[in-house]
């Protein structure tokens, strides 16, 4: 008849705990205002059609916009084999496991203990009297249960912090993935630009070798002095040194690609740099909300969520901890009687631990958690503001590079014409060989500058994709119409 009475306090305690579990100590998270403008200013030249086209969510595989099959292959290999990315994935798995560990505190802990002991007591007592020794056997099987009532929300806040930390590790992995994609793309563009520069330098070297033959013939004929021959030889040697330098740079770039893609023995065949298309320019007035797709911004926000939750964990230490415990099992001297009714044992109870005095330790822990939340808030705002600046920088850079490329293309055409004219006038005897050398040098530099500018323009597009967390997708009127979205 007493058994129902045993359940009543436990049921009352659980009911009270569930009733009080509706709120948790500590501040609830609210996303802070980042203070950014709603949209970016128009910073890139676009057509009228593009300027009125809304920007859709980010393009996950933005590197495919460069329309290079070999780049796509390298990217696949990098995302599968890069060791830094694998390490980040392992950190993410560890954080997810820690989150599952924190969740386990919601559930009662159940332990099973079994023991069998045989002991003998001494026959000599402390009083000096001798009595017979005794031998006893004790066999015990019991299941213990313990459970902490989360009245003040300590466990909930701990779980909130653990989940946010796990999400932050996932976004950290995504941020590294985005950075890796940018490094692979930029390094590949560098290598292809070096291919083009090597081609230009070889053509320059062939041209100067032909010029050297002409000068040598003219010196032999007495039309030129040995000075012109020495100048031609010096110019040829300079072009040869330039070729060697570019070959060294290409080899180093190839080695870096091998490291990024997890292929130390990688060999990249020569490709055509000029065939790489320029990716589309963004529409005018990109919404700053695109920054929310950046994994580093989302990582920073989750770290702020975790820091905010830890304030509640620290404040919960001001209040008592209530735990319920129970035990059910059997104990007997004889194995055959271990599970008989008379061998049954049980116990239940509740424990309360209340802080009285700890010299301000709890208050100091709350202050530490609050300060850590302030630091996380400052880091979050700095991450958002830095992201906004990076997008603005990339937009301005794209615009200026586009205009600069037009000027350099004109310079290349003009310097090519100047070289042709100076060669003809030199062979006709109207100008000195210095004029030809100067024209060759100008034309060679103009070509290399143009290729470098084109590479920088492509790299600026990569920077914009990275700054936006993966670029953007143009949304057509049909796709933006909910009635036609299917």
Is 126 a member of any domain?
no
Take residue 122 and report the two structure tokens written for it. 């001494």
Is 71 a member of any domain?
yes
DSSP alpha helix (H) spans, 221-281:
226-260
The answer to whether residue 50 scores a pLDDT higher than 50 is no
Is 133 a member of any domain?
no
Positive/negative CA dihedral, 165, 171, 172, 173: positive
Is 211 a member of any domain?
yes
pTM listed for this prediction: 0.80
Q: Other CB atoms closer than 10 Å to residue 334's CB: what's the count?
A: 10
- Burial (CB count <10 Å: 0-12, 13-18, 19+), residue 446: buried
Is 263 a member of any domain?
yes
Three-state DSSP string of 374-408: HHHHHHHHHHHHHHHHHHHHHHHHHHHHHHHHHHH
Is 129 a member of any domain?
no
The answer to whether residue 320 scores a pLDDT higher than 80 is yes
* Domains contained in the chain, number: 1
pLDDT interval class at 41 (50, 70, 90): low
- Confidence at residue 2, expressed as pLDDT on a 0 to 100 scale: 37
- Confidence at residue 478, expressed as pLDDT on a 0 to 100 scale: 44
Is 161 a member of any domain?
yes
List the Cα angle 304/307/312 in 5-degree steps: 130
Q: Which residues constitute the domain of residue 468?
A: 3-114+139-484
Is 264 a member of any domain?
yes
**CATH no. for residue 64?**
1.20.1600.10
pLDDT interval class at 485 (50, 70, 90): very low
d(CA 135, CA 137): 7
- Give me the residues paired with residue 39 across strands: 287
Residues 260-288: tens digit of each pLDDT: 999 999 999 998 888 888 877 776 667 77
Measured CA to CA in angstroms, residue 457 lies from 394, 404, 454 at distances of 10, 10, 5
Distance of CA 482 to the CA centre of its chain: 33
Residues 95-143: tens digit of each pLDDT: 999 999 999 999 999 998 888 887 777 766 555 555 666 777 777 888 8
The answer to whether residue 369 scores a pLDDT higher than 50 is yes
């Amino acid at each position: 008849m007493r058994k129902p009475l045993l359940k009543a306090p436990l049921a009352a305690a659980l009911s009270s705990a569930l009733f009080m579990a509706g709120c948790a100590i500590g501040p609830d998270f609210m996303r802070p205002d980042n203070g950014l403008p709603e949209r970016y200013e128009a910073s890139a030249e676009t057509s009228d059609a593009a300027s009125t086209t809304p920007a859709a969510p980010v393009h996950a595989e933005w590197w495919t916009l460069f329309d290079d099959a070999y780049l796509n292959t390298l990217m696949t290999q990098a995302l599968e084999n890069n060791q830094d990315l694998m390490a980040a994935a392992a950190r993410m798995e560890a954080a997810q496991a820690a989150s599952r560990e924190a969740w386990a505190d919601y559930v009662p802990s159940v332990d099973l203990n079994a023991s069998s002991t045989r002991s003998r007591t001494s026959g000599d007592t402390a009083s000096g009297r001798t009595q017979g020794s005794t031998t006893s056997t004790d066999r015990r099987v019991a299941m213990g249960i313990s459970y902490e009532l989360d009245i003040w929300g300590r466990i909930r806040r701990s779980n909130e912090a653990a989940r946010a930390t796990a999400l932050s590790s996932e976004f950290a992995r995504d941020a590294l993935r985005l950075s890796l994609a940018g490094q692979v793309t930029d390094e590949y563009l560098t290598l292809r630009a070096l291919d083009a520069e090597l081609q230009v330098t070889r053509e320059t070297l062939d041209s100067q070798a032909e010029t050297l033959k002409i000068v040598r013939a003219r010196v032999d004929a007495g039309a030129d002095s040995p000075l012109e021959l020495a100048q031609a030889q010096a110019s040829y040697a300079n072009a040869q040194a330039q070729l060697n330098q570019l070959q060294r740079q290409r080899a180093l770039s190839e080695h870096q690609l091998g490291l990024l893609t997890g292929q130390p023995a990688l060999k990249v065949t020569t490709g055509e740099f000029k065939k790489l298309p320029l990716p589309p320019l963004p529409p005018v007035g990109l919404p700053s909300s695109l920054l929310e797709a950046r994994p580093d911004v989302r990582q920073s926000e989750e770290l702020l969520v975790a820091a905010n939750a830890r304030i509640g964990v620290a404040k919960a230490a001001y209040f008592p901890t209530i735990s319920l415990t129970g035990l059910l099992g059997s104990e007997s001297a004889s194995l055959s009687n271990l599970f008989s009714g008379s061998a049954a044992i049980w116990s239940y109870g509740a424990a309360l631990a209340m802080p009285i005095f700890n010299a301000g330790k709890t208050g100091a822990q709350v202050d530490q958690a609050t300060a850590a939340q302030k630091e996380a808030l400052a880091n979050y705002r700095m991450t958002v503001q830095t992201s906004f600046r990076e997008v603005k920088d990339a937009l301005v850079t794209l615009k200026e590079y586009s205009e600069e490329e037009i000027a350099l293309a004109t310079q290349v055409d003009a310097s090519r014409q100047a070289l042709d004219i100076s060669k003809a006038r030199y062979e006709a005897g109207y100008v000195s060989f210095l004029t030809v050398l100067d024209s060759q040098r100008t034309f060679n530099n103009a070509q290399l500058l143009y290729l470098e500018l084109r590479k920088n323009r492509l790299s600026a597009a990569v920077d914009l994709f990275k700054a936006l967390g993966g670029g953007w997708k143009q949304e057509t009127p049909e796709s933006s119409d909910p009635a036609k979205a299917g």
